[in-house]
Structure 1
């Protein structure tokens, strides 16, 4: 596009927030966000760098999407960068996109949370906090009965499914509700996502008041918690991140850029103590001229998908992104570039971590080469834990680029059976079914398919896992790591790699984490909770289960602060203090 074409296109655009894409023959070259679309696109008539000028010269069109808020523009930009991998954007490798809510384009539309909307679907979002969105979608289904099942489950039914029995669906599949009435409910749900909070808040408030009058206090507390989420949902279009007291959580970032690769080291501090450190890799356009500031901006936007923002960010250089600065300020995040003192020392430590990680393999490339697979960036590890066939549980942990992705961890309570092979077969079949259902449109588990499955065990466990994959029809490479000799077992052969080989160390980290996660869950199920939590006033069976699910065990509940306890649905300030006192 020449200068005049850019100016002409900008003249047709609204002065509203949104996202723009420069495209060439339908391929996205660059994605950007703007508070004022017309003004921002017009600025490309005078590009700020040679790289951007080159991009504009290649583009033959500018596509735009208007958003309700500046925050939505920022999040949508991150989604589009992840989806299209545009040549001229800095991109965080293998990170997540932000979730949306879609109403599908079917005769009886389905509501679901997704990162990749179906063609023709009406999508709302994106949102940062999936947990808040899940609360809202479930409340909408409980109130208006929209279906959440996939098409193959919907078609050809002769009786309603369990969702109808528990009040989540009005069962249009069997004619329990007519098309006209169902579509009216769909329209009401659409109104909610367009900003009419009352269509959901009012029924929840009435239900809470009725529960209180009948002294059903646990249900009242549950509805109260849902109401709080619903009423705050549109304050930031569902994206508001609840902050704690000032400076409780601080992230310190260090960046090293080498050619088309950047390494970002993150140090996470809570209450003045460093509690976590990790490293991330970004791909950088080979002719990028904006350096560390643009890498930092890209990392912050893309990394904090489904992650709570800290209270403060400490950086080695300022962002090259005014909209990002404004968004973080709106969210209450203090952004500082310290020049001296303890904070400057922390930034230097993060920089040292980034330099140390520069060029060091995370093991994924070496592992893929050794196994002869395309890549091993995303690995899921499986283990089973039980006590002589009792309290049998399975773990499913995820590593991305050599680091644990804890938001993608899953665990499963299995049937009590003192058979390690049968238990592993059951666990892997459960994961495989969820993956196959996702591919057919069911969104219960929207994690992407892994590049590799790792089984904790030997040849017997590996064969059990392979049987499960064959039975369900999920085609994913699978190997096992045997503890005794640290042998890597594949369907065709076994390997004994050196102890310092990066591919072996990576598999050991995944195996050890899957074992830890399984044992932790197993121990939580064996806790003698009836004599402890059941005697706490205000804590019923459902709340007890939520507490154990959130904190892992009674000891975890005992160690939680009142504020942390109140993050559990059904636990208010008074109940939190009672729990603390009793435990």
Structure 2
């Protein structure tokens, strides 16, 4: 696209806040930006501010746009689109989630729901920063206007009103309790609310709150007051209460370094004047983007579904007026300290960010050893069972070498004594959810399978069947060998001719290799999480111990954990039984007589 083409396209755009997308001839999104004035911002690309942007404009064939109600919505929508389309000319945070949206589905009787992946044809509002606030508002809307929240399948098969109708949060259009015309009027009221007419919801809530207070139903009045606050805050009329930025308030300290096409941001979190948390995040930073651009991208993409601190300290000014106004509205002070203790904290954050490029960079070392892109996000998988019973699978996540426990998942699997089939089912479950968009976690850069070439083969079968394109390796416990799908530099002493025949590579790394330690931590955490869940399920299974006098639920759990099975309890001696806390001589004799 030449400068004249950019100017011509800009002339067609409105002078309103929104986001714009430069796309190539094949429809691939090259760059996403935000603007207070779409026409002026896009016109500025006729004279690009850098060689990198000039190349982007040259590749572009189309400029698309979307208008938003506010600058904040434009800023958040930009972050959502960057994470969805992964445009090559934007700075992208790899380990973050999307902002929540509210959609009214494209249906004769629309469904309302909070989502990060709206359906085709849906009417979408947002994005919003606070998921809890949005869910509170959607619930209040349903209580006021009765819009359905069920799936289209459940709606079409319903022959009588469900529990939502009994609870007063749905008017049951599925069974004709309300006509489509009246339902459509309620949908229109909800649309008016999201389009800015706050009184559509705030007024009835306020009246109900005042009535509850007059009737001395103070708990209900307080609940309604909280809902009203969420409603007003959603449209910027309330105050998102954040602690004062001074003194003992929570503070985030950010340090960013750029290394070629990669950037690292170290975040230090201080509360009460003390550091309580440290973490690092990796971003894809195209050539030509300095630390200021990295700060801009990180701040907007990171603070989704996270509580804002009272202050954010940066080593350099992000130089973005829209971000500054957004943070100010949220009660966050953005500072670039020049001296004193705050400057010392910023220096510490920069040191933490630079550390990832040095000898301690185990993620980079793993990428080099395997010959793959940097696996910043690794997911580990393991299966646990007892002779085919209480079969469970674990799915843990490690980001930048640190456990991301909020992204841990576990699943009950089919009861069978087949480790390969169990692993295939577990990985297929994760892959199907990812491909269908039902898993709100980002795709990992690498899968680590606990086991050998058999388990890895089963995992690869699941990936092939679902079309989920994610690299996978396995780590065998006995000799700590790393198994890969492709032929690698196998150790001559490893004795793995069968793996070689089946096109599996084997890496026998030194015991002190940092990249091996990283995989071992992921594997061990997946194993721990799987065994923990398996033990929980096993303890919940009805056993012959249930009806024994003197053996309550806690004693039963201790017996099973101590001996592993009812059969082993049956074979235990009186001395072994009484060694279990809660089992006395009389109870031990009861156990032996009843089970013997």
Q: TM-score, normalised by structure 1?
A: 0.71
Matches of 2:517 and 2:102, distance apart in 1: 39
Distance 1:104 1:269, change over 3 A: same
Matches of 1:235 and 1:46, distance apart in 2: 35
Distance 1:224 1:503, change over 3 A: farther
Report how far residue 158 of structure 1 moved: 2.3
Matches of 2:435 and 2:149, distance apart in 1: 15
Contact 2:265-2:282 within 8 A present in 1 as well: yes
**Number of aligned residue pairs:** 507
Report how far residue 256 of structure 1 moved: 1.7
Report how far residue 363 of structure 1 moved: 4.5
Matches of 2:254 and 2:373, distance apart in 1: 33
Q: Deviations over 1:339-391 (max 9, x none)?
A: 22222211111111111112655549949998x9997825377999xxxxxxx
Contact 1:241-1:309 within 8 A present in 2 as well: no
Q: Which residue matches 1:134?
A: 135
Tell me the secondary structure at the aligned position of residue 137 of structure 1.
helix
Q: Which residue matches 2:379?
A: 379
Tell me the secondary structure at the aligned position of residue 313 of structure 1.
strand
Distance 1:394 1:130, change over 3 A: farther
Distance 1:394 1:29, change over 3 A: closer
Matches of 1:27 and 1:454, distance apart in 2: 31
Q: Which residue matches 2:278?
A: 277
Q: Deviations over 1:112-146 (max 9, x none)?
A: 11112111110000111111111111121222222
Matches of 2:110 and 2:427, distance apart in 1: 26
Q: Which residue matches 1:304?
A: 303
Q: Deviations over 1:42-66 (max 9, x none)?
A: 2112211111112112222221211
1:216-365 aligned at under 5 Å gives the runs 216-235=217-236, 241-247=240-246, 248-286=249-287, 288=288, 290-358=289-357, 361=361, 363=363
Distance 1:50 1:483, change over 3 A: closer
Matches of 1:202 and 1:434, distance apart in 2: 44
Matches of 1:214 and 1:337, distance apart in 2: 52
Q: Which residue matches 1:554?
A: none
Matches of 1:298 and 1:114, distance apart in 2: 23
Q: Which has the higher contact order (CA 8 A, sep 6+)?
A: 1
Matches of 1:174 and 1:376, distance apart in 2: 50
Q: Which residue matches 2:545?
A: none
Matches of 2:197 and 2:120, distance apart in 1: 26
Q: Which residue matches 1:121?
A: 122
Q: Which residue matches 1:538?
A: none
1:201 aligns with 2:202: yes
Q: Which residue matches 2:20?
A: 20
Contact 1:136-1:229 within 8 A present in 2 as well: yes
Structure 1: segments with no counterpart, 5+ residues = 385-392, 524-583
- Coordinate RMSD, CA, aligned: 4.9
Q: TM-score, normalised by structure 2?
A: 0.69
Matches of 1:154 and 1:168, distance apart in 2: 15
Matches of 1:177 and 1:432, distance apart in 2: 42
Q: Which residue matches 1:10?
A: 10
Q: Which residue matches 2:61?
A: 60
Matches of 2:45 and 2:482, distance apart in 1: 53
1:79-228 aligned at under 5 Å gives the runs 79-228=80-229
Matches of 1:519 and 1:272, distance apart in 2: 37
Matches of 1:141 and 1:512, distance apart in 2: 45
Matches of 1:366 and 1:320, distance apart in 2: 35
Larger radius of gyration: 2
Matches of 2:398 and 2:336, distance apart in 1: 31
Structure 2: segments with no counterpart, 5+ residues = 385-391, 485-498, 537-596
Tell me the secondary structure at the aligned position of residue 293 of structure 1.
helix
1:413-424 aligned at under 5 Å gives the runs none
Distance 1:429 1:226, change over 3 A: farther
Report how far residue 513 of structure 1 moved: 7.1
Report how far residue 488 of structure 1 moved: 9.9
Report how far residue 243 of structure 1 moved: 1.5
Matches of 1:129 and 1:298, distance apart in 2: 19
Contact 1:170-1:177 within 8 A present in 2 as well: yes
Distance 1:183 1:130, change over 3 A: same
Report how far residue 338 of structure 1 moved: 2.2
Contact 1:368-1:375 within 8 A present in 2 as well: no
Tell me the secondary structure at the aligned position of residue 155 of structure 1.
helix
Report how far residue 104 of structure 1 moved: 0.8
Distance 1:132 1:333, change over 3 A: same
